[in-house]
Structure 1
Amino acid sequence: MMMRVLHVCTEIYPLLKTGGLADVAGALPVAQAKMGCDARVLVPGFPALRAGILDQELVAELPPAFGTDAIRLYRGFLPGSRIPVYVIDAPELYDRPGNPYADGANHGYHDNYRRFALLGWIAARMAEGLDAPWRPQVIHAHDWHAGLAAPYLKAAEQAAGHRLAGSVQTVHNLAYQGSFPGHVFGELRLPWHFFDVHGVEFHGDISFLKAGLFYADKLTTVSPTYAHEIQRSEQGCGLDGLLRSRAGDLAGILNGVDETVWNPATDRLLPKAYDTRSLAGKLKGKTALQQEAGLAIQNDAPLFCVVSRLTEQKGLHLVLEALPEIIRRGGQIMLLGTGDASLEAGFSAAAAAHPESVAVKIGYDEQLSHRLIAASDVILVPSRFEPCGLTQLYGLKYGTLPLVRRVGGLADTVVDCSLENMADGLATGFVFDSFDAAGITAALRRAFALYNRKAEWKLVQKRGMQQQFGWDAAAAEYIALYQQIAV
């Protein structure tokens, strides 16, 4: 019998993406379906999702709730993969400008607690049979936005007197917890005894993520190392005590790469495809990007890239501090990203001062991200903390050596080009420990040194490209977890 699993999330590639969550939501259900799992997805009716999901049919109409007059649930299919997707049509809550979480000025919507409470509430209703022909055995909630799925499910089970479905809460980034004032609890349609330290309450507020971590049957995060790190105070974001108490239910399962999207041999967004047998297409892409970005046309020094949200977490102030070293050694760098205004200004100023060495594109461009990663020699991911990281995996796949800090999923996926790792045939990139200018500068010096040894550089490139980070292994681990809790 096929395992029936409902993934609950707020964005999904290729229809709506603000970060790595969309890549996971777009790829994991597909990999699970190939293994015989009936994996489906539940999403809010943001305009891009309402417009992009194919062949939508009305499943249910619900009475007003959470400040909206009309709620309709539709079922359709994700373009390309044909994974079934349920979309919640509640225009008053979801049909808004800006990104899914904030307005055009990047201020979080004042009623986000209602918008995402509805998402978790509908997930629990699915376990009660909202779509009569299909009832999930497991509800898999992703990040804080889906954090109330498990408590709503637990409340429904208490009312019914029996289990309805197993539940999994995945932490994609513990720093984002979905905290709201305690006085809004009365609007959430949860039993009052759930507002407790042993429940959804967190320092007098409501924490959606804490709620999911408390009530879900199993907890996961997106790399083994991060699963250990968040149980300590330094990276536990105030939830380390809860996570330590649930250590037996917590698993770190490394994210994968969707090779139908990220593969230099088949990527139609590149000027010329390439693979480990010939990297000529990579050099062609580098020259084309240099020309497009206004950088000096050169191939005698490395081109570094950053594809990232511009936040303190990502360690990009370290990159700013290291720019003089990159320029002094003849290297180049191009950044694609948006976020913190001071970081945007700092990189833009560097590009204006050194236009042949530094290029900056503020914003996000999926097509450019492919071309930039493929064209570059080194991808920089010097994060303060990193639950998994996907860009370093894309870098490995495209022969673009990752330069990373030894944290979270970065520690799990990149092996430093030390002499002993080179001798043992293990090296795939450059890894540093101390979160400061000295740490990243030492790693940059190793990158320049290896770049000058062309034969060794190509060996490391090809070894990185041969690493296996597909979704099959992760999909199998999740299915094994589901089997422990499925109803």
Structure 2
Amino acid sequence: MKILMVSSEATPFAKSGGLADAVSALSRALQRAGHDVRIVLPRYYSIARDGLIQLEGPLGVPLGGQEHWSAVFQATLPNSQVPVYFIDHEGFFGRDGIYGNKAEPDFADNPQRFAFFNRAVFQLCRKLAWFPDILQAHDWPSALAPVYLRFTESGGEFTGDFAGEFANTKAVLTIHNLGYQGVYGKSAFESFALPWEAWHGAGFEFYGSLNLLKAGITCAHRLTTVSPTYAREIQAHEQGCMLDGLLRSRSSDLVGILNGVDLHEWDPAVDPHLPAHYSSTDLAGKAACKRAAQEAFGLPVDDKVPLIGMVSRLTDQKGVSELFGPLYGSAWHICHDMAVQFAIQGSGETWCENELRSLAGRLPNFRARIGYSEAIAHLVEAGADFFMMPSRYEPCGLNQMYSLRYGTLPIVRRTGGLADTVSNYDEKSGEGTGFMFEHLSPHAIYDTTGWAIWLWYNRPDHFQAMRQRAMHQEFSWDKAAHEYTALFADMLPKEETKK
């Protein structure tokens, strides 16, 4: 199959979060499965032209009553043969930041920037004379691609074949995080080069504003999200982000496919960031990593005390209020009441960063590093005995899968991808790969952490068996690619899937 990935991010070219890693990893896995996969990105200011190949001739993109011109560059996704195309436009992308920057956290012209990008995707395919069987759009910045596939302007009337060239192309919209929807003023619609009938027909209207993700959900042939549990959760009011009704109406077209992890980058047997390597059959190196982590965070080196690690954005989504909130947060009580150590790396909300510094100053068994270091992130995963992840919601989550692979047992809330990847400890049988609680509260975090610490001190046999079991869990991108391939094949005529 010919598969086109339309995304605002892809590692290593442009990244603000896990979306970039997922797009690149899935593209590689689909190519390994034998598909013709290509990626289209904007060429942001941060992506140097050096090393890129410029395609011959400019690209004309009709938008907002005028013709915009773009250069197109090409590269190859590292560790693959996947072509990556970059849409270049100085006015839209020649600035610092993907969606915003310090001076302007959310660019006011984001609707126009990404409308131009999505429209340019189709012009690029024409230029290449390459028309995909599947167009996979990712999150709100690419949600206009399914809309443009469905609607174009022809005498003020709808036509669904985009001049016939994309008549056989099917659109999939992947929702990585429903909380980010691309909601802007209604006036932005005028610049999209769509007929006004599309305002309602494509579902842009959102309580008097314009919602890009909602339009993509309305127009895509199929919808996916990044874990089976999250696919169910977003159809309910609590996590539906005001789109649950629309998602329920499309429930037969919505499927959750669990993201994978990069098994080469996250492998304790060869991880270059670690002071010692280890595997499920030889855990001596993990003990050395624990000592190194304790030293790196300024904690007493003691292999008999359990070490709880955490690497996280310090935002409300991650449950930081319940864990670190002044007066009522559970972290202080855990460190005060239990023989345990905490090592945390994170950055985010100012109040939380300040509270971490305060806790580190008051508690000898609590240390935090504000900021992000890839090497420290790997060291925490390898050196910790338990990993704290009390998310309010978690579409998929990666750290719990890294933790399992590194023999570090997760302490998580039962939500989204956490529920799909961690199995709860059973005291009678010793089964399980981690510890789970249902409702997010300081008491739930405290009690579940106490349960894990009880296991450490009282059932070391169960702990070691769980660690072994965790390290044998399989979360490969090849498995995810197999599920996507089955979904794509179901969308196409049988003869198309043989290409």
* Normalised-by-shorter TM-score class: over 0.9
* Residues 1:13 and 1:273: Cα distance change in structure 2 (over 3 Å): farther
Q: Does 1:143 align with 2:146?
A: no
Q: Which is further off, 60-69 or 218-227? A: 60-69
Corresponding residue number in structure 2 for 1:260: 264
Corresponding residue number in structure 1 for 2:116: 118
Corresponding residue number in structure 2 for 1:274: 278
Distance 1:17 1:55 in 2: 18
Distance 2:275 2:359 in 1: 28
On the 8 A contact 2:332/2:359 being kept in 1, the answer is no
* Residues 1:293 and 1:195: Cα distance change in structure 2 (over 3 Å): same
TM-score when normalising by structure 1 = 0.93
On the 8 A contact 1:47/1:94 being kept in 2, the answer is yes
Q: CA deviation at 1:48?
A: 3.9
On the 8 A contact 1:126/1:135 being kept in 2, the answer is no
Corresponding residue number in structure 2 for 1:481: 487
Q: CA deviation at 1:335?
A: 2.0
Deviations 1:324-381 (A, max 9, x none): 2331213222222222222222112212333x42222222322321122111111111
On the 8 A contact 1:153/1:164 being kept in 2, the answer is no
On the 8 A contact 1:172/1:221 being kept in 2, the answer is yes
Distance 1:17 1:83 in 2: 18
Q: Does 1:238 align with 2:236?
A: no
Distance 1:46 1:375 in 2: 37
On the 8 A contact 2:61/2:119 being kept in 1, the answer is no
Q: Does 1:62 align with 2:62?
A: no
Q: Secondary structure at the match of 1:359?
A: strand
On the 8 A contact 1:77/1:85 being kept in 2, the answer is yes
Q: CA deviation at 1:66?
A: 6.1
Corresponding residue number in structure 2 for 1:413: 421
Q: Does 1:347 align with 2:347?
A: no
Counterparts of residues 72-471 of structure 1 (less than 5 Å): 72-97=71-96, 99-105=97-103, 107-127=105-125, 129-132=126-129, 134-156=130-152, 157-160=160-163, 163-196=167-200, 198-320=202-324, 321-328=329-336, 329-354=338-363, 356-420=364-428, 422=430, 425=431, 427-452=432-457, 453-471=459-477
**Correspondent of 1:11 among 6, 9, 12:** 9
* Residues 1:195 and 1:400: Cα distance change in structure 2 (over 3 Å): same
Q: Secondary structure at the match of 1:10?
A: coil
Q: CA deviation at 1:164?
A: 4.5
Q: CA deviation at 1:289?
A: 2.0
Q: CA deviation at 1:473?
A: 1.6
Distance 1:465 1:159 in 2: 49
Corresponding residue number in structure 2 for 1:43: 41
On the 8 A contact 1:123/1:139 being kept in 2, the answer is no
**Structure 2 gap segments, 5+ residues each:** 153-159
Q: Secondary structure at the match of 1:458?
A: helix
Amino acid of the structure 1 residue aligned with 2:293 = L
Q: CA deviation at 1:455?
A: 2.7
Q: Which is further off, 65-74 or 192-201? A: 65-74
Amino acid of the structure 2 residue aligned with 1:249 = D
Q: Which is further off, 293-302 or 405-414? A: 293-302
On the 8 A contact 1:231/1:240 being kept in 2, the answer is yes
On the 8 A contact 1:126/1:136 being kept in 2, the answer is no
On the 8 A contact 1:56/1:75 being kept in 2, the answer is yes
On the 8 A contact 2:62/2:193 being kept in 1, the answer is no
On the 8 A contact 1:60/1:130 being kept in 2, the answer is no
Amino acid of the structure 2 residue aligned with 1:433 = E
On the 8 A contact 2:412/2:435 being kept in 1, the answer is yes
In the alignment of these two chains, the number of paired residues is 477
Q: Which is further off, 285-294 or 440-449? A: 285-294
Q: Secondary structure at the match of 1:41?
A: strand
On the 8 A contact 2:61/2:123 being kept in 1, the answer is no
Q: CA deviation at 1:81?
A: 2.5
**Structure 1 gap segments, 5+ residues each:** none
Deviations 1:200-253 (A, max 9, x none): 222221111111100000000111111111111111111111111111110011
TM-score when normalising by structure 2 = 0.91
Q: Secondary structure at the match of 1:236?
A: coil
Q: Secondary structure at the match of 2:53?
A: strand
Q: Secondary structure at the match of 1:308?
A: strand
Q: CA deviation at 1:420?
A: 4.2
Corresponding residue number in structure 1 for 2:157: none
Amino acid of the structure 1 residue aligned with 2:6 = V
Q: Secondary structure at the match of 1:428?
A: coil
On the 8 A contact 2:171/2:221 being kept in 1, the answer is yes
Q: CA deviation at 1:65?
A: 6.1
Q: Secondary structure at the match of 1:474?
A: helix
